[in-house]
Structure 1
Amino acid sequence: MQWNEELPDAHNRITPSMFVARSLEEIRFWSRIMKEHSLFLRLGFRCEDTQLINEANQYYYLFEKIEQQSYNLTNQTDPEQMRRFNTEVQIAATNIFAFKRKVLGLILTCQLPGANNFPLLVDHTSREANYFRKRLIELNEGKLKPLADEIIKENVFYLRIMADHAKFIGHLLDPSERKLVDMAREFSNDFDELLFQARDLESMKPQSQTVPLLDQFLDQNRVSVVSLRDFKKTARDLIEECKIKSIIHPLLADHVFREAEHFLEIIDLFEAHLTGKKEFPS
Protein backbone atom coordinates (compact mmCIF):
# COMPACT_ATOMS: atom_id res chain seq x y z
CA MET A 1 0.00 0.00 0.00
CA GLN A 2 1.62 3.27 -1.10
CA TRP A 3 -0.12 6.42 -0.04
CA ASN A 4 2.44 8.82 -1.44
CA GLU A 5 0.19 11.52 -2.83
CA GLU A 6 -1.40 14.49 -1.12
CA LEU A 7 -3.69 14.04 1.84
CA PRO A 8 -7.46 14.07 1.11
CA ASP A 9 -9.05 17.49 1.19
CA ALA A 10 -11.39 18.71 3.90
CA HIS A 11 -14.26 16.66 2.51
CA ASN A 12 -12.12 13.49 2.52
CA ARG A 13 -12.33 13.12 -1.24
CA ILE A 14 -9.58 11.32 -3.10
CA THR A 15 -8.13 12.35 -6.43
CA PRO A 16 -8.57 10.14 -9.52
CA SER A 17 -4.90 9.16 -9.48
CA MET A 18 -5.07 8.24 -5.79
CA PHE A 19 -8.24 6.25 -6.45
CA VAL A 20 -6.65 4.12 -9.18
CA ALA A 21 -3.37 3.56 -7.30
CA ARG A 22 -5.07 2.57 -4.05
CA SER A 23 -7.57 0.35 -5.82
CA LEU A 24 -4.81 -1.60 -7.55
CA GLU A 25 -2.78 -1.91 -4.36
CA GLU A 26 -5.75 -3.27 -2.41
CA ILE A 27 -6.80 -5.70 -5.15
CA ARG A 28 -3.31 -7.02 -5.81
CA PHE A 29 -2.68 -7.71 -2.14
CA TRP A 30 -6.09 -9.01 -1.09
CA SER A 31 -6.92 -11.06 -4.19
CA ARG A 32 -3.84 -13.19 -3.49
CA ILE A 33 -4.90 -13.51 0.15
CA MET A 34 -8.43 -14.58 -0.90
CA LYS A 35 -6.98 -17.10 -3.36
CA GLU A 36 -4.84 -18.63 -0.63
CA HIS A 37 -7.75 -18.69 1.83
CA SER A 38 -9.61 -20.83 -0.69
CA LEU A 39 -6.73 -23.29 -0.76
CA PHE A 40 -6.42 -23.45 3.04
CA LEU A 41 -10.14 -24.04 3.48
CA ARG A 42 -10.09 -26.78 0.83
CA LEU A 43 -7.22 -28.53 2.56
CA GLY A 44 -9.22 -28.54 5.80
CA PHE A 45 -12.35 -30.16 4.37
CA ARG A 46 -13.01 -33.91 4.57
CA CYS A 47 -12.75 -36.06 1.44
CA GLU A 48 -16.54 -36.45 1.34
CA ASP A 49 -17.14 -32.67 1.38
CA THR A 50 -17.01 -32.58 -2.40
CA GLN A 51 -19.39 -29.65 -2.85
CA LEU A 52 -17.43 -27.47 -0.44
CA ILE A 53 -14.16 -28.53 -2.06
CA ASN A 54 -15.53 -27.60 -5.48
CA GLU A 55 -16.73 -24.23 -4.22
CA ALA A 56 -13.34 -23.53 -2.66
CA ASN A 57 -11.64 -24.45 -5.94
CA GLN A 58 -13.94 -22.11 -7.86
CA TYR A 59 -13.00 -19.23 -5.58
CA TYR A 60 -9.33 -20.10 -5.90
CA TYR A 61 -9.47 -19.79 -9.69
CA LEU A 62 -11.71 -16.72 -9.53
CA PHE A 63 -9.29 -14.77 -7.36
CA GLU A 64 -6.31 -16.05 -9.31
CA LYS A 65 -7.94 -14.55 -12.42
CA ILE A 66 -8.65 -11.29 -10.57
CA GLU A 67 -5.06 -11.11 -9.38
CA GLN A 68 -3.78 -11.61 -12.92
CA GLN A 69 -6.19 -9.01 -14.32
CA SER A 70 -5.03 -6.46 -11.74
CA TYR A 71 -1.48 -6.68 -13.07
CA ASN A 72 -2.74 -5.90 -16.57
CA LEU A 73 -3.85 -2.49 -15.26
CA THR A 74 -1.61 0.43 -14.33
CA ASN A 75 -1.80 3.63 -12.31
CA GLN A 76 -2.75 5.34 -15.57
CA THR A 77 -5.87 3.20 -15.97
CA ASP A 78 -9.05 5.18 -16.64
CA PRO A 79 -10.81 5.77 -13.29
CA GLU A 80 -14.16 4.62 -14.72
CA GLN A 81 -12.60 1.34 -15.85
CA MET A 82 -11.07 0.98 -12.39
CA ARG A 83 -14.41 1.64 -10.76
CA ARG A 84 -16.07 -1.09 -12.83
CA PHE A 85 -13.30 -3.53 -11.97
CA ASN A 86 -13.63 -2.63 -8.27
CA THR A 87 -17.33 -3.43 -8.44
CA GLU A 88 -16.63 -6.79 -10.07
CA VAL A 89 -14.03 -7.67 -7.43
CA GLN A 90 -16.24 -6.41 -4.62
CA ILE A 91 -18.98 -8.83 -5.71
CA ALA A 92 -16.45 -11.67 -5.69
CA ALA A 93 -15.26 -10.65 -2.21
CA THR A 94 -18.85 -10.49 -0.98
CA ASN A 95 -19.52 -13.98 -2.34
CA ILE A 96 -16.44 -15.55 -0.76
CA PHE A 97 -17.37 -13.81 2.50
CA ALA A 98 -20.79 -15.51 2.35
CA PHE A 99 -19.14 -18.85 1.55
CA LYS A 100 -16.84 -18.55 4.57
CA ARG A 101 -19.73 -17.67 6.88
CA LYS A 102 -21.65 -20.68 5.54
CA VAL A 103 -18.68 -22.92 6.33
CA LEU A 104 -18.41 -21.39 9.80
CA GLY A 105 -22.09 -22.14 10.42
CA LEU A 106 -21.61 -25.77 9.36
CA ILE A 107 -18.66 -26.15 11.72
CA LEU A 108 -20.40 -24.54 14.69
CA THR A 109 -23.49 -26.71 14.23
CA CYS A 110 -21.30 -29.84 14.13
CA GLN A 111 -22.13 -30.68 10.51
CA LEU A 112 -18.47 -31.16 9.54
CA PRO A 113 -17.15 -33.51 12.24
CA GLY A 114 -13.53 -34.43 11.65
CA ALA A 115 -12.77 -31.49 9.36
CA ASN A 116 -9.60 -29.54 10.12
CA ASN A 117 -10.65 -25.89 9.79
CA PHE A 118 -10.69 -24.12 13.16
CA PRO A 119 -13.84 -22.00 13.62
CA LEU A 120 -11.66 -19.02 14.54
CA LEU A 121 -9.61 -19.47 11.36
CA VAL A 122 -12.77 -19.46 9.21
CA ASP A 123 -14.08 -16.41 11.07
CA HIS A 124 -10.67 -14.76 10.65
CA THR A 125 -10.69 -15.30 6.88
CA SER A 126 -14.25 -14.01 6.63
CA ARG A 127 -13.30 -10.82 8.50
CA GLU A 128 -10.56 -10.23 5.96
CA ALA A 129 -12.97 -10.79 3.07
CA ASN A 130 -15.40 -8.33 4.63
CA TYR A 131 -12.59 -5.80 5.11
CA PHE A 132 -11.64 -6.18 1.44
CA ARG A 133 -15.18 -5.73 0.13
CA LYS A 134 -15.77 -2.68 2.34
CA ARG A 135 -12.50 -1.12 1.23
CA LEU A 136 -13.53 -1.39 -2.43
CA ILE A 137 -16.94 0.12 -1.68
CA GLU A 138 -15.29 3.06 0.12
CA LEU A 139 -12.91 3.61 -2.77
CA ASN A 140 -15.73 3.57 -5.33
CA GLU A 141 -17.63 6.10 -3.26
CA GLY A 142 -14.56 8.33 -3.44
CA LYS A 143 -14.40 9.01 0.26
CA LEU A 144 -11.91 8.25 3.01
CA LYS A 145 -12.27 8.47 6.76
CA PRO A 146 -10.35 11.27 8.53
CA LEU A 147 -6.74 10.24 9.18
CA ALA A 148 -7.15 9.97 12.96
CA ASP A 149 -10.19 7.70 12.60
CA GLU A 150 -8.42 5.59 10.01
CA ILE A 151 -5.31 5.08 12.18
CA ILE A 152 -7.31 3.68 15.08
CA LYS A 153 -9.70 1.66 12.92
CA GLU A 154 -6.94 0.00 10.87
CA ASN A 155 -4.91 -0.86 13.94
CA VAL A 156 -7.90 -2.40 15.71
CA PHE A 157 -8.48 -4.59 12.66
CA TYR A 158 -4.87 -5.65 12.13
CA LEU A 159 -3.99 -6.16 15.80
CA ARG A 160 -6.77 -8.72 16.01
CA ILE A 161 -5.46 -10.37 12.83
CA MET A 162 -1.97 -10.60 14.34
CA ALA A 163 -3.34 -12.03 17.60
CA ASP A 164 -5.22 -14.67 15.61
CA HIS A 165 -2.08 -15.58 13.66
CA ALA A 166 -0.15 -16.19 16.87
CA LYS A 167 -2.94 -18.46 18.13
CA PHE A 168 -3.03 -20.44 14.87
CA ILE A 169 0.74 -20.92 14.87
CA GLY A 170 0.68 -22.14 18.48
CA HIS A 171 -2.04 -24.68 17.69
CA LEU A 172 -0.55 -25.93 14.43
CA LEU A 173 2.97 -26.48 15.74
CA ASP A 174 3.61 -29.96 17.08
CA PRO A 175 3.18 -29.93 20.89
CA SER A 176 6.75 -31.19 21.22
CA GLU A 177 8.00 -27.88 19.82
CA ARG A 178 7.59 -26.49 23.32
CA LYS A 179 9.76 -23.40 23.00
CA LEU A 180 8.10 -22.24 19.78
CA VAL A 181 4.64 -22.99 21.18
CA ASP A 182 5.47 -20.88 24.24
CA MET A 183 6.70 -18.04 22.03
CA ALA A 184 3.50 -18.14 19.96
CA ARG A 185 1.44 -18.03 23.16
CA GLU A 186 3.40 -15.01 24.37
CA PHE A 187 2.76 -13.21 21.07
CA SER A 188 -0.93 -14.05 21.34
CA ASN A 189 -1.11 -12.51 24.80
CA ASP A 190 0.89 -9.45 23.70
CA PHE A 191 -1.41 -8.72 20.76
CA ASP A 192 -4.53 -9.35 22.82
CA GLU A 193 -3.30 -6.63 25.20
CA LEU A 194 -2.49 -4.28 22.33
CA LEU A 195 -5.95 -4.87 20.88
CA PHE A 196 -7.59 -4.04 24.23
CA GLN A 197 -5.54 -0.83 24.37
CA ALA A 198 -6.54 0.08 20.82
CA ARG A 199 -10.21 -0.45 21.62
CA ASP A 200 -9.83 1.73 24.72
CA LEU A 201 -8.32 4.47 22.56
CA GLU A 202 -11.18 4.02 20.09
CA SER A 203 -13.79 4.42 22.82
CA MET A 204 -12.15 7.68 23.94
CA LYS A 205 -12.61 9.33 20.53
CA PRO A 206 -12.49 12.17 19.60
CA GLN A 207 -10.58 13.33 22.67
CA SER A 208 -7.97 10.59 22.16
CA GLN A 209 -7.20 11.71 18.61
CA THR A 210 -4.12 13.79 19.35
CA VAL A 211 -0.85 13.50 17.48
CA PRO A 212 1.22 12.55 20.56
CA LEU A 213 -1.17 9.76 21.58
CA LEU A 214 -1.51 8.39 18.05
CA ASP A 215 2.24 8.60 17.44
CA GLN A 216 2.95 6.64 20.61
CA PHE A 217 0.19 4.20 19.68
CA LEU A 218 1.82 3.51 16.32
CA ASP A 219 5.32 3.26 17.79
CA GLN A 220 4.21 0.73 20.38
CA ASN A 221 2.38 -1.37 17.83
CA ARG A 222 5.32 -1.30 15.43
CA VAL A 223 7.70 -2.76 18.02
CA SER A 224 5.43 -5.75 18.59
CA VAL A 225 4.60 -6.25 14.91
CA VAL A 226 8.31 -6.25 14.00
CA SER A 227 8.96 -8.92 16.63
CA LEU A 228 6.05 -11.03 15.40
CA ARG A 229 7.07 -10.53 11.77
CA ASP A 230 10.58 -11.76 12.56
CA PHE A 231 9.18 -14.77 14.44
CA LYS A 232 6.96 -15.61 11.48
CA LYS A 233 9.90 -15.31 9.09
CA THR A 234 11.98 -17.66 11.22
CA ALA A 235 9.11 -20.13 11.47
CA ARG A 236 8.48 -19.92 7.72
CA ASP A 237 12.14 -20.59 6.93
CA LEU A 238 12.33 -23.51 9.38
CA ILE A 239 9.15 -25.04 7.96
CA GLU A 240 10.44 -24.71 4.39
CA GLU A 241 13.69 -26.43 5.43
CA CYS A 242 11.79 -29.15 7.34
CA LYS A 243 13.61 -28.23 10.56
CA ILE A 244 10.59 -28.11 12.87
CA LYS A 245 7.59 -30.35 13.48
CA SER A 246 4.20 -28.88 12.57
CA ILE A 247 1.16 -29.27 10.37
CA ILE A 248 1.61 -25.74 9.01
CA HIS A 249 1.52 -25.58 5.22
CA PRO A 250 4.60 -23.67 3.94
CA LEU A 251 2.30 -21.33 2.00
CA LEU A 252 0.35 -20.56 5.17
CA ALA A 253 3.61 -19.70 6.94
CA ASP A 254 4.47 -17.27 4.14
CA HIS A 255 0.88 -15.97 4.03
CA VAL A 256 0.89 -14.81 7.67
CA PHE A 257 4.39 -13.36 7.25
CA ARG A 258 3.20 -11.23 4.30
CA GLU A 259 0.24 -9.94 6.31
CA ALA A 260 2.58 -8.79 9.09
CA GLU A 261 4.75 -7.04 6.49
CA HIS A 262 1.62 -5.38 5.10
CA PHE A 263 0.61 -4.13 8.55
CA LEU A 264 4.08 -2.65 9.08
CA GLU A 265 3.81 -0.78 5.77
CA ILE A 266 0.48 0.67 6.91
CA ILE A 267 1.94 1.75 10.28
CA ASP A 268 4.91 3.43 8.58
CA LEU A 269 2.69 5.27 6.12
CA PHE A 270 0.39 6.49 8.88
CA GLU A 271 3.39 7.78 10.82
CA ALA A 272 4.67 9.55 7.72
CA HIS A 273 1.35 11.40 7.48
CA LEU A 274 1.46 12.31 11.17
CA THR A 275 4.89 13.96 10.84
CA GLY A 276 4.62 17.71 11.11
CA LYS A 277 0.89 17.70 11.79
CA LYS A 278 -0.12 19.39 15.03
CA GLU A 279 -3.82 18.60 15.05
CA PHE A 280 -6.49 16.85 13.05
CA PRO A 281 -9.48 18.65 11.61
CA SER A 282 -12.69 17.89 13.45
Structure 2
Amino acid sequence: MSNAFVARSLDEIRFWSRIMKEHSLFLKLGFRCEDTQLINEANQFYSTFEGIERQSHAFTVGTDPEQIRRFNVEVQNAATHIWAFKRKILGLVLSCKMPGANNFPLLIDHTSREANYFRNRLNELNSGQLEPLPDAIIDENVFFLRIMADHAKFIGHLLDPSERQLVEQARNFSNDFDQLLFQARDLESMRPQSQTLPMLNQFLDQNRVSVKSLRDFKKTAKDLIESCRIKSIIHPLLADHVFREAERFLAIIDMFEQSLSSVKPR
Protein backbone atom coordinates (compact mmCIF):
# COMPACT_ATOMS: atom_id res chain seq x y z
CA MET A 1 0.00 0.00 0.00
CA SER A 2 2.88 2.40 0.78
CA ASN A 3 4.28 1.85 -2.74
CA ALA A 4 0.84 2.52 -4.22
CA PHE A 5 0.59 5.77 -2.22
CA VAL A 6 4.00 6.93 -3.45
CA ALA A 7 3.29 5.95 -7.08
CA ARG A 8 -0.11 7.66 -7.11
CA SER A 9 1.25 10.81 -5.43
CA LEU A 10 4.13 11.13 -7.89
CA ASP A 11 1.85 10.49 -10.86
CA GLU A 12 -0.54 13.25 -9.79
CA ILE A 13 2.25 15.71 -9.02
CA ARG A 14 4.19 15.06 -12.23
CA PHE A 15 1.10 15.60 -14.36
CA TRP A 16 -0.53 18.51 -12.53
CA SER A 17 2.61 20.47 -11.63
CA ARG A 18 3.35 20.73 -15.36
CA ILE A 19 -0.23 21.87 -15.96
CA MET A 20 0.05 24.52 -13.21
CA LYS A 21 3.38 25.70 -14.63
CA GLU A 22 1.80 26.12 -18.07
CA HIS A 23 -1.24 27.91 -16.61
CA SER A 24 1.16 30.50 -15.20
CA LEU A 25 2.53 31.11 -18.70
CA PHE A 26 -0.89 31.24 -20.40
CA LEU A 27 -2.28 33.69 -17.85
CA LYS A 28 0.83 35.87 -18.18
CA LEU A 29 0.42 35.98 -21.97
CA GLY A 30 -3.10 37.36 -21.45
CA PHE A 31 -2.08 40.21 -19.13
CA ARG A 32 -1.60 43.77 -20.32
CA CYS A 33 1.86 45.37 -20.43
CA GLU A 34 1.02 47.51 -17.40
CA ASP A 35 0.07 44.49 -15.24
CA THR A 36 3.66 44.18 -14.04
CA GLN A 37 2.80 42.90 -10.55
CA LEU A 38 0.61 40.11 -11.96
CA ILE A 39 3.26 39.26 -14.54
CA ASN A 40 5.86 38.95 -11.78
CA GLU A 41 3.55 36.75 -9.72
CA ALA A 42 2.88 34.52 -12.73
CA ASN A 43 6.64 34.21 -13.31
CA GLN A 44 7.12 33.20 -9.67
CA PHE A 45 4.45 30.52 -9.94
CA TYR A 46 6.04 29.24 -13.13
CA SER A 47 9.37 28.86 -11.31
CA THR A 48 7.70 27.26 -8.29
CA PHE A 49 5.92 24.56 -10.28
CA GLU A 50 8.91 24.01 -12.55
CA GLY A 51 10.90 23.25 -9.40
CA ILE A 52 8.16 20.95 -8.07
CA GLU A 53 8.02 19.10 -11.39
CA ARG A 54 11.79 18.66 -11.42
CA GLN A 55 11.83 17.48 -7.80
CA SER A 56 9.04 14.97 -8.43
CA HIS A 57 11.16 13.24 -11.06
CA ALA A 58 13.99 12.88 -8.54
CA PHE A 59 11.81 10.59 -6.41
CA THR A 60 11.02 6.94 -7.19
CA VAL A 61 8.35 4.44 -6.15
CA GLY A 62 10.85 3.24 -3.54
CA THR A 63 11.07 6.65 -1.84
CA ASP A 64 10.11 6.74 1.84
CA PRO A 65 6.31 7.35 2.01
CA GLU A 66 6.80 9.87 4.83
CA GLN A 67 9.06 11.94 2.58
CA ILE A 68 6.38 11.88 -0.13
CA ARG A 69 3.73 12.79 2.43
CA ARG A 70 5.74 15.90 3.34
CA PHE A 71 6.27 16.67 -0.35
CA ASN A 72 2.51 16.39 -0.92
CA VAL A 73 1.90 18.99 1.80
CA GLU A 74 4.43 21.34 0.19
CA VAL A 75 2.87 20.92 -3.26
CA GLN A 76 -0.67 21.26 -1.90
CA ASN A 77 0.36 24.57 -0.36
CA ALA A 78 1.70 25.78 -3.73
CA ALA A 79 -1.50 24.63 -5.46
CA THR A 80 -3.58 26.55 -2.90
CA HIS A 81 -1.57 29.71 -3.55
CA ILE A 82 -1.94 29.51 -7.33
CA TRP A 83 -5.66 28.79 -6.88
CA ALA A 84 -5.99 32.01 -4.85
CA PHE A 85 -3.98 33.90 -7.50
CA LYS A 86 -6.33 32.70 -10.23
CA ARG A 87 -9.42 33.65 -8.23
CA LYS A 88 -7.92 37.11 -7.63
CA ILE A 89 -7.42 37.56 -11.38
CA LEU A 90 -10.99 36.39 -12.03
CA GLY A 91 -12.28 38.99 -9.58
CA LEU A 92 -10.29 41.74 -11.29
CA VAL A 93 -11.57 40.76 -14.75
CA LEU A 94 -15.22 40.39 -13.70
CA SER A 95 -15.16 43.77 -11.90
CA CYS A 96 -13.82 45.37 -15.11
CA LYS A 97 -10.51 46.38 -13.50
CA MET A 98 -8.43 44.89 -16.33
CA PRO A 99 -9.99 46.25 -19.53
CA GLY A 100 -8.20 44.96 -22.60
CA ALA A 101 -6.72 41.87 -20.92
CA ASN A 102 -6.99 38.73 -23.03
CA ASN A 103 -7.86 35.99 -20.53
CA PHE A 104 -11.47 34.83 -20.82
CA PRO A 105 -13.19 34.71 -17.40
CA LEU A 106 -14.19 31.10 -18.11
CA LEU A 107 -10.56 30.21 -18.86
CA ILE A 108 -9.42 31.73 -15.56
CA ASP A 109 -12.17 29.87 -13.70
CA HIS A 110 -11.25 26.69 -15.59
CA THR A 111 -7.62 26.90 -14.47
CA SER A 112 -8.68 27.56 -10.88
CA ARG A 113 -10.93 24.47 -10.89
CA GLU A 114 -7.94 22.38 -11.94
CA ALA A 115 -5.81 23.86 -9.15
CA ASN A 116 -8.57 23.07 -6.67
CA TYR A 117 -8.83 19.50 -8.00
CA PHE A 118 -5.06 19.09 -7.64
CA ARG A 119 -4.88 20.32 -4.05
CA ASN A 120 -7.91 18.24 -3.02
CA ARG A 121 -6.40 15.10 -4.55
CA LEU A 122 -3.16 15.56 -2.58
CA ASN A 123 -5.17 16.05 0.61
CA GLU A 124 -7.12 12.84 -0.10
CA LEU A 125 -3.91 10.90 -0.70
CA ASN A 126 -2.28 12.14 2.49
CA SER A 127 -5.38 11.45 4.58
CA GLY A 128 -5.91 8.04 2.97
CA GLN A 129 -9.52 8.97 2.23
CA LEU A 130 -9.92 8.35 -1.50
CA GLU A 131 -13.51 8.00 -2.68
CA PRO A 132 -15.13 4.58 -3.13
CA LEU A 133 -14.99 3.44 -6.77
CA PRO A 134 -18.65 4.19 -7.71
CA ASP A 135 -18.41 7.74 -6.35
CA ALA A 136 -15.00 8.32 -7.92
CA ILE A 137 -16.29 7.24 -11.34
CA ILE A 138 -19.11 9.77 -11.30
CA ASP A 139 -17.18 12.64 -9.70
CA GLU A 140 -14.11 12.31 -11.94
CA ASN A 141 -16.29 12.22 -15.03
CA VAL A 142 -18.31 15.26 -13.94
CA PHE A 143 -15.06 17.15 -13.42
CA PHE A 144 -13.35 16.10 -16.65
CA LEU A 145 -16.44 16.34 -18.88
CA ARG A 146 -16.73 20.00 -17.90
CA ILE A 147 -13.01 20.47 -18.59
CA MET A 148 -13.44 18.93 -22.06
CA ALA A 149 -16.50 21.10 -22.79
CA ASP A 150 -14.50 24.19 -21.81
CA HIS A 151 -11.62 23.16 -24.07
CA ALA A 152 -13.94 22.89 -27.06
CA LYS A 153 -15.27 26.38 -26.35
CA PHE A 154 -11.77 27.85 -26.00
CA ILE A 155 -10.61 26.26 -29.25
CA GLY A 156 -13.66 27.57 -31.10
CA HIS A 157 -13.03 31.11 -29.83
CA LEU A 158 -9.27 31.15 -30.41
CA LEU A 159 -9.34 29.83 -33.96
CA ASP A 160 -9.55 32.54 -36.62
CA PRO A 161 -13.22 33.01 -37.60
CA SER A 162 -12.25 32.24 -41.20
CA GLU A 163 -11.42 28.65 -40.16
CA ARG A 164 -15.12 27.95 -40.50
CA GLN A 165 -15.04 24.16 -40.62
CA LEU A 166 -12.80 23.79 -37.55
CA VAL A 167 -14.81 26.40 -35.65
CA GLU A 168 -17.99 24.44 -36.43
CA GLN A 169 -16.37 21.19 -35.30
CA ALA A 170 -15.31 22.82 -32.03
CA ARG A 171 -18.84 24.15 -31.51
CA ASN A 172 -20.27 20.67 -32.06
CA PHE A 173 -17.85 19.18 -29.53
CA SER A 174 -18.84 21.89 -27.05
CA ASN A 175 -22.52 20.97 -27.45
CA ASP A 176 -21.79 17.22 -27.21
CA PHE A 177 -19.81 17.59 -24.00
CA ASP A 178 -22.37 19.92 -22.46
CA GLN A 179 -24.95 17.14 -22.99
CA LEU A 180 -22.61 14.49 -21.57
CA LEU A 181 -22.03 16.71 -18.54
CA PHE A 182 -25.78 17.13 -18.00
CA GLN A 183 -26.17 13.33 -18.18
CA ALA A 184 -23.35 12.84 -15.70
CA ARG A 185 -24.93 15.30 -13.29
CA ASP A 186 -28.23 13.46 -13.61
CA LEU A 187 -26.44 10.22 -12.69
CA GLU A 188 -24.76 12.09 -9.83
CA SER A 189 -28.08 13.26 -8.37
CA MET A 190 -29.57 9.75 -8.68
CA ARG A 191 -26.85 8.07 -6.64
CA PRO A 192 -26.49 5.69 -4.89
CA GLN A 193 -29.33 4.03 -6.80
CA SER A 194 -27.70 4.94 -10.13
CA GLN A 195 -24.42 3.21 -9.25
CA THR A 196 -25.18 -0.21 -10.64
CA LEU A 197 -22.46 -2.09 -12.50
CA PRO A 198 -24.28 -2.05 -15.88
CA MET A 199 -25.05 1.67 -15.59
CA LEU A 200 -21.50 2.66 -14.63
CA ASN A 201 -20.09 0.51 -17.46
CA GLN A 202 -22.39 2.17 -19.99
CA PHE A 203 -21.52 5.60 -18.58
CA LEU A 204 -17.80 4.98 -19.09
CA ASP A 205 -18.25 3.41 -22.54
CA GLN A 206 -20.26 6.36 -23.80
CA ASN A 207 -17.82 8.93 -22.44
CA ARG A 208 -14.84 7.04 -23.80
CA VAL A 209 -16.16 7.25 -27.39
CA SER A 210 -16.69 11.02 -27.16
CA VAL A 211 -13.40 11.74 -25.39
CA LYS A 212 -11.47 9.76 -28.01
CA SER A 213 -13.12 11.79 -30.78
CA LEU A 214 -12.27 15.05 -29.05
CA ARG A 215 -8.73 13.83 -28.33
CA ASP A 216 -8.24 13.07 -32.03
CA PHE A 217 -9.63 16.50 -32.98
CA LYS A 218 -7.21 18.16 -30.56
CA LYS A 219 -4.33 16.13 -32.00
CA THR A 220 -5.23 17.29 -35.51
CA ALA A 221 -5.52 20.91 -34.38
CA LYS A 222 -2.21 20.64 -32.50
CA ASP A 223 -0.43 19.29 -35.59
CA LEU A 224 -1.94 21.97 -37.82
CA ILE A 225 -0.97 24.75 -35.41
CA GLU A 226 2.58 23.47 -34.95
CA SER A 227 3.06 23.28 -38.73
CA CYS A 228 1.47 26.74 -39.26
CA ARG A 229 -1.22 25.32 -41.56
CA ILE A 230 -4.20 27.04 -39.94
CA LYS A 231 -5.01 30.54 -38.74
CA SER A 232 -5.46 30.98 -34.98
CA ILE A 233 -4.17 32.77 -31.91
CA ILE A 234 -3.66 29.45 -30.10
CA HIS A 235 -0.19 29.06 -28.61
CA PRO A 236 1.31 25.70 -29.74
CA LEU A 237 1.92 24.80 -26.08
CA LEU A 238 -1.76 25.41 -25.30
CA ALA A 239 -2.73 23.04 -28.13
CA ASP A 240 -0.47 20.38 -26.63
CA HIS A 241 -1.73 21.18 -23.11
CA VAL A 242 -5.39 20.48 -23.91
CA PHE A 243 -4.41 17.34 -25.87
CA ARG A 244 -2.56 15.98 -22.82
CA GLU A 245 -5.57 16.59 -20.59
CA ALA A 246 -7.78 14.57 -22.95
CA GLU A 247 -5.21 11.78 -22.84
CA ARG A 248 -5.30 11.97 -19.04
CA PHE A 249 -9.09 11.62 -19.02
CA LEU A 250 -8.90 8.56 -21.28
CA ALA A 251 -6.31 6.98 -18.97
CA ILE A 252 -8.63 7.56 -15.99
CA ILE A 253 -11.53 5.95 -17.87
CA ASP A 254 -9.25 2.97 -18.64
CA MET A 255 -8.36 2.66 -14.97
CA PHE A 256 -12.02 2.75 -13.94
CA GLU A 257 -13.01 0.14 -16.53
CA GLN A 258 -10.26 -2.20 -15.32
CA SER A 259 -11.40 -1.71 -11.72
CA LEU A 260 -15.04 -2.41 -12.63
CA SER A 261 -14.07 -5.58 -14.49
CA SER A 262 -12.87 -7.06 -11.19
CA VAL A 263 -16.13 -6.22 -9.37
CA LYS A 264 -18.53 -9.13 -9.06
CA PRO A 265 -22.18 -8.32 -9.95
CA ARG A 266 -24.49 -8.40 -6.98
Under a length normalisation based on structure 2, what TM-score does the superposition of the two structures give? 0.99
Tell me the residue number matched to 1:149: 135
User: Where in structure 2 are there 5+ consecutive unaligned residues?
Assistant: none
Query: What does 1:256-271 align with in structure 2 at a 5 Å threshold?
Result: 256-271=242-257
Bigger fraction of residues in helix: 2
Query: What does 1:1-282 align with in structure 2 at a 5 Å threshold?
Result: 15-279=1-265
Q: Distance in 1 between matches of 2:138 and 2:70?
A: 30
Q: Distance in 1 between matches of 2:162 and 2:264?
A: 51
**Structure 2 counterpart SS, 1:47:** coil
Cα offsets for 1:186-238 (capped at 9, x unmatched)? 00000000000000000000000111000000000000000000000000000
Kindly state the Cα deviation for residue 278 of structure 1 after the two structures are TM-superposed. Answer: 2.9
Cα offsets for 1:92-112 (capped at 9, x unmatched)? 000000000000000000000
Q: Distance in 1 between matches of 2:114 and 2:7?
A: 20
Q: Distance in 1 between matches of 2:253 and 2:259?
A: 10
Kindly state the Cα deviation for residue 16 of structure 1 after the two structures are TM-superposed. Answer: 1.1
Kindly state the Cα deviation for residue 37 of structure 1 after the two structures are TM-superposed. Answer: 0.1
Q: Distance in 2 between matches of 1:278 and 1:220?
A: 21
Cα offsets for 1:88-130 (capped at 9, x unmatched)? 0000000000000000000000000000000000000000000
Indicate the percent of aligned positions where both proteins have the same amino acid: 78
Aligned partner letter, 1:199: R
User: Where in structure 1 are there 5+ consecutive unaligned residues?
Assistant: 1-14
Aligned partner letter, 1:19: F
Cα offsets for 1:121-157 (capped at 9, x unmatched)? 0000000000000000000001211100000000000
Kindly state the Cα deviation for residue 277 of structure 1 after the two structures are TM-superposed. Answer: 1.5
Q: Distance in 1 between matches of 2:10 and 2:242?
A: 21
**Structure 2 counterpart SS, 1:229:** helix
Aligned partner letter, 1:39: L
Kindly state the Cα deviation for residue 168 of structure 1 after the two structures are TM-superposed. Answer: 0.1
Q: Distance in 2 between matches of 1:99 and 1:277?
A: 42
Q: Distance in 1 between matches of 2:265 and 2:119?
A: 31
Aligned partner letter, 1:79: P
Q: Distance in 1 between matches of 2:131 and 2:164?
A: 44
Q: Distance in 2 between matches of 1:92 and 1:39?
A: 16
Q: Distance in 2 between matches of 1:28 and 1:73?
A: 11
Kindly state the Cα deviation for residue 52 of structure 1 after the two structures are TM-superposed. Answer: 0.2
Q: Distance in 1 between matches of 2:265 and 2:55?
A: 40
**Structure 2 counterpart SS, 1:274:** helix
Q: Distance in 1 between matches of 2:205 and 2:67?
A: 38
Hey, which bits of structure 1, 4+ residues long, moved more than 6 A? Answer: none
**Paired residues, number:** 266
Q: Distance in 1 between matches of 2:37 and 2:106?
A: 22
**Structure 1 counterpart SS, 2:177:** helix
Cα offsets for 1:37-81 (capped at 9, x unmatched)? 000000000000000000000000000000000000000010100
Kindly state the Cα deviation for residue 264 of structure 1 after the two structures are TM-superposed. Answer: 0.2
